[in-house]
Amino acid sequence: MRTRTRNNTTREVADFLKGLEKAAVTTHTGADGDAIGSAVALVYLVRSLGAEAVFCHAEPVPNYLQWLLPNEPFAECPPDHDLLVVDTSRSDRVGVTHEGMHPIRLNLDHHEDNPLYGEFNLVDAKAAASAQIVAALYAELGVPLDKRKAEAIYTGVATDTGGFRFRNVSPEAHELVADLLRAGVIPAEVNDRINRTGTVQQLNIVGLSMANAARYGEAIVSVVDRNDYARTGATELDSKESIDRLRNVAGVEIVAHLREIEGGTKASLRSESVDVGEIARHFDGGGHRLAAGYTTLKPPHEAREDLLEILRGVVNLGEADTTGGAG
Ligand code: AMP
Ligand code: MN
Ligand code: MN
């Protein structure tokens, strides 16, 4: 395998896809709507070119995204398939075992910190979602969209833009969405499947995340731990959506949600102005400038102290106002 440490053009990657015979598509661990949406859209694209394609992922796919899947996910990449990876900023976040087994032939992504780890790389940090990059390949290859394909792409764009509200939204993203609607997507249907599949446990843990939120000047930090899971019957993943609800407080530059996981803490960071990708990289994580994350081996309350230490150099933490915060 020749490793190219440069970004390829859409044309080059389109030609590469045309040469495939059997492809396995995977995405990052902790898959989100863009991860699954862009992976599924790529599976359909490769199939439309006449090749075999399957979706692979070692972790269970979240319930709210299972309706998208083109096949029961293979837990591993079949040995004779070429491995294509989408929406994954680093090769150590790939959702299947691959090191020493399967070279990553394509790395398609929109994270600005992506180090171009594939043989072919199609990384565009201006794309609102990896699904938007997959859509550009459909256009380049002249493969028409049908409802199923368009729904996968729509899911990626709609989720990664927070329902078309975040700063990554562009005229191009909206133009694409117009095409997706023409191909049959009904946004209300997709919204029903994605956002109306929750449980009361989820509602309760998100509620606790709000109750636990504490303000430190220009930062809001919320922590949920195993006691909160026990109280609500929720799992750690159930609290994931809390991060977007923490963004509504006036005068806040950074919001952080820290949730206890087996053996440590998973952190999500969001901002409208500060490079939180840089903050995440302090903890060996990463992500986008305005949406990033990391995991640490520390328990959540220690993780919060470590985070506040870093935040102190970035925003004004003022006097802690933890009146609303229990955690
Ligand atoms: P999340 O807060 O998990 O929704 O992640 C937000 C962004 O940060 C996503 O684009 C992820 O790819 C990235 N990210 C999250 N966790 C990590 C991590 N441990 N290492 C690198 N990037 C991460
Ligand atoms: Mn993602
Ligand atoms: Mn994405």
Indicate the top mutation candidate among 28, 29, 89 to test ligand 1's pocket, ranked by most ligand atoms within 8 A of CB.
89
Q: Closest residue (by CA) to atom 11 of ligand 1? A: 287
Kindly give the distance from the C-alpha atom of residue 31 to the centroid of ligand 1, in angstroms, as a whole number.
Answer: 10
Which domains are present in the chain? 10-194 (3.90.1640.10), 200-321 (3.10.310.30)
- Cβ 258 under 6 angstroms from ligand 1: no
The predicted model scores a pTM of: 0.92
Mutate to test the pocket of ligand 1, among 237, 254, 268 (most ligand atoms within 8 A of CB): 268
For the segment 93-97, the average pLDDT, to the nearest whole number, is: 96
pLDDT computed for residue 101 by the predictor:
86
Q: Tell whether the model's pLDDT for residue 90 goes beyond 60.
A: yes
Q: Is the CB of 232 under 6 A from ligand 1?
A: no
Arithmetic mean of pLDDT, 79-102: 94
Per-residue pLDDT tens digits for 53-80: 999 999 999 989 999 999 999 999 999 9
Distance 105 CA to ligand 2 centre (A): 19
How far is residue 254's CA from residue 313's CA, in Å, rounded to a whole number? 13
Average pLDDT, integer, range 111-133: 97
Report the percent of the chain where pLDDT is more than 70.
96
**What is the 33 CA–ligand 2 centroid distance (Å)?**
7
- What pLDDT digit, counting tens, does each position of 136-158 carry? 999 999 999 999 999 999 999 99
- Whose CA is closest to atom 7 on ligand 1? 292
Structure token digits, residue 110? 């929109």
pLDDT at 4: 53
Q: Is the CB of 267 under 6 A from ligand 1?
A: no
Model confidence at 322, pLDDT cuts 50, 70, 90, reads low
Report pLDDT for 251: 94
Give the distance (Å) from ligand 2 centre to CA of residue 87.
5
Distance 183 CA to ligand 1 centre (A): 31
Average pLDDT, the chain: 95
Q: What is the mean pLDDT of residues 199-207?
A: 96
Relative to the alpha carbon of 288, which ligand is closest? 1
Is the CB–ligand 1 distance for residue 137 below 6 Å?
no
**Phi, psi at 222, each rounded to 5°:** -125, 140
The model's pLDDT over 312-321, given as tens digits with 9 standing for 90+, comes to 999 999 975 5
Protein residue whose Cα sits closest to atom 19 of ligand 1: 294
Residue nearest atom 9 of ligand 1, based on CA coordinates: 287
Confidence label for 197 from pLDDT (cuts 50, 70 and 90): confident
Residue 321: predicted pLDDT: 54
Name the CA dihedral angle for 95, 255, 247, 259, rounded to a multiple of 10 degrees: 50
Q: Confidence band (pLDDT; 50, 70, 90) for 220?
A: very high
